[in-house]
């Protein structure tokens, strides 16, 4: 129980740092519900964590009825990660990294955070939860499923961030998928 709590807290902080210190300064996107939250943030100014929660509501309704255990195991991950995303939103970094470095580091931190939570049976909810459901039913790697879903969200955000940032954001989702897969596989 204590390990799960520590994993949720550490994973949530990694996600919050990855988003606010590395993605938002360059208007980079991630995929999934985090990406949708970022699109809402860039387009209408909605706090990213709140956007993640609002975007996740339909999947949580589904999980409530059909995947109660996953619902209960993911709710605290969603709430803590969204809180960390919004808490770190006012952080100011003193470094100026090239956009491609920021895309990879941000994606790696987010992937590590998500993977850590998935390793202990929880997630940030949203499409991570959807990927867990699909992985259990299909046997496909959860990191690859997240990568596919993330790519779909990036395509949706193309008109908001433009082609150049879209391409760098693709580096982000590659890093997220790789670190999520590696982190989850370490316990297999």
Q: Kindly report, residue by residue over 138-155, the tens digit of the pLDDT.
A: 989 877 887 788 789 999
Q: Is the pLDDT of residue 187 over 60?
A: no
13, 82 in Cβ contact below 8 A? no
Please count the structural domains in the chain.
1
Q: For residues 85 and 56, give the distance between their C-alpha atoms in angstroms, rounded to a whole number.
A: 15
Q: What is the tens place of the pLDDT at every residue in 65-123?
A: 988 888 888 888 899 999 999 999 988 777 889 999 999 999 999 999 999 998 888 87
Range(s) of the domain holding residue 87: 1-186
pTM of the model: 0.89
C-alpha dist (Å) from residue 157 to 40, 49, 145: 10, 17, 19
Question: What value does the CA radius of gyration of the chain take, rounded to a whole number of Å?
Answer: 15
Q: How confident is the model at residue 185 (pLDDT cuts 50, 70, 90)?
A: confident
Q: For residues 165 and 144, give the distance between their C-alpha atoms in angstroms, rounded to a whole number.
A: 22
pLDDT on residue 188: 46
Look-up: residue for tokens 């992937």? 111
Mean pLDDT of the chain: 89
Count the Cβ atoms, other than its own, within 10 Å of residue 158: 14
Please give the full DSSP string across 111-171, using - where no structure is assigned.
HHHHHHHHHTT---SHHHHHHHHHHHHH---HHHHHHHHHHHHHHHHHHHH-HHHHHHHHH
Q: How confident is the model at residue 137 (pLDDT cuts 50, 70, 90)?
A: confident
């Amino acid at each position: 129980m204590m390990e799960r709590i520590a994993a949720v807290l550490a994973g949530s902080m990694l996600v919050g740092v990855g988003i606010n210190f590395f993605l938002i300064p360059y208007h980079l996107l991630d995929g999934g519900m985090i990406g949708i939250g970022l699109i809402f943030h860039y387009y209408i100014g909605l706090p990213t964590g709140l956007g993640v929660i609002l975007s996740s509501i339909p999947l949580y309704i589904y999980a409530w009825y059909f995947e109660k255990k996953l619902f209960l195991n993911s709710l605290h991950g969603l709430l803590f990660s969204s809180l960390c995303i919004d808490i770190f939103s006012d952080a100011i970094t003193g470094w100026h990294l090239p956009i491609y470095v920021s895309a990879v580091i941000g994606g790696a931190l987010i992937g590590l955070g998500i993977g850590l939570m998935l390793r202990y049976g929880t997630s940030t909810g949203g499409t991570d939860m959807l990927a867990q459901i699909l992985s259990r039913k299909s046997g496909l790697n959860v990191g690859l499923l997240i990568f596919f879903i993330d790519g779909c969200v990036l395509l949706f955000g193309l008109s908001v961030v433009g082609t150049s940032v879209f391409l760098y954001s693709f580096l982000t989702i590659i890093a997220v998928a790789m670190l999520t897969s590696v982190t989850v596989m370490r316990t297999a």
